[in-house]
Amino acid sequence: MSTSQGYGNPAPLGLLGFGLTTILLNIHNAGFFPLTSMILSMGIFVGGIAQLIAGIQEWKVNNTFGATAFTLYGCFWLSFAVLNLLPASAVTSSGSFDIGFYLLVWGVFSLFMFVGTLRISMAHQIIFSSLTVLFFLLAIGDFTGSHMVKTIAGFEGIFCGISACYTAVALILNELYGKIVMPLGMVNKLTIKNQDLQAMVS
C-alpha cells in the first residue's frame, strides 16, 4: 500500500518471504520429508533475499521495527542455509548442542520483538509469540536430542508461518479493496501511519 513518502508497503513481501519458508522448513521438522535443497534454496532466495529487500525498503518508509525484523530474519535464513551447506567437518548442521545456542539466541531476539508487537496488531503478536515458542522448542530439541520436541516444534512452526502469510495477504487485500477485508486487530492507530489504514480503523 502507498505510504506518505510515495513508496509501497514492503511488509507483505517480507512476511510472505518469512511465512512461506517457515512453513516448508517446519513441514520437514514435523517429519513429513527430509531437509532437501528445496528448503535451502527457499531459505536463500525467499526467506533470505526477499526479506533483506523488504528490510531495506522498511528503512525508506521510516519503520525501524520492520527494517530490523526483516533484515535480521533474512540474515537468519541465509545463515541457516550456509550452516547446512558447509561440509560436515566444518559444522554440524542439526541435532547438536551448539546449534541449540544458535536457536536460543534467536528465540530471545524474537521475544524482544514480540514486546514491540504489543504496539502494532494482534496479527503481529501471534506471529512473534509463536515464532518465539518455535525457536525455544527447536533449541530444546537440539539440547536434549528429543525427536518428539522437534516434531511438536514443526507443527507449531507451520502455524507460525501460516499466521505470517495471513497477515501479508491481509495487508495486500485491505489496500486493494480500500477497507478491512481481513482483520489484523490493530491495537494502536499511531503505529500504522506507514500503512494508510487510519481511516479504516477509525
Per-residue pLDDT, 188: 62
| Rounded Cα gap, residues 9 and 6, in angstroms | 10
Per-residue pLDDT, 98: 87
Count other C-beta atoms under 10 Å from residue 169's C-beta: 16
**Distance of alpha carbon 3 from its chain centroid, rounded?**
22
- Give pLDDT tens digits for 37-57: 999 999 999 999 999 999 999
Task: Return the C-alpha cell found at 24.
Answer: 516448508
- Does this model's pTM top 0.85? yes
CA angle 10, 127, 15 (to 5 degrees): 20
Task: Return the C-alpha cell found at 46.
Answer: 525467499
* CB neighbour list of residue 69: distance below 8 Å, 6 or more residues apart: 14, 55, 113
- Give pLDDT tens digits for 71-130: 999 999 999 999 888 865 554 444 478 899 999 999 999 999 999 999 999 999 999 999
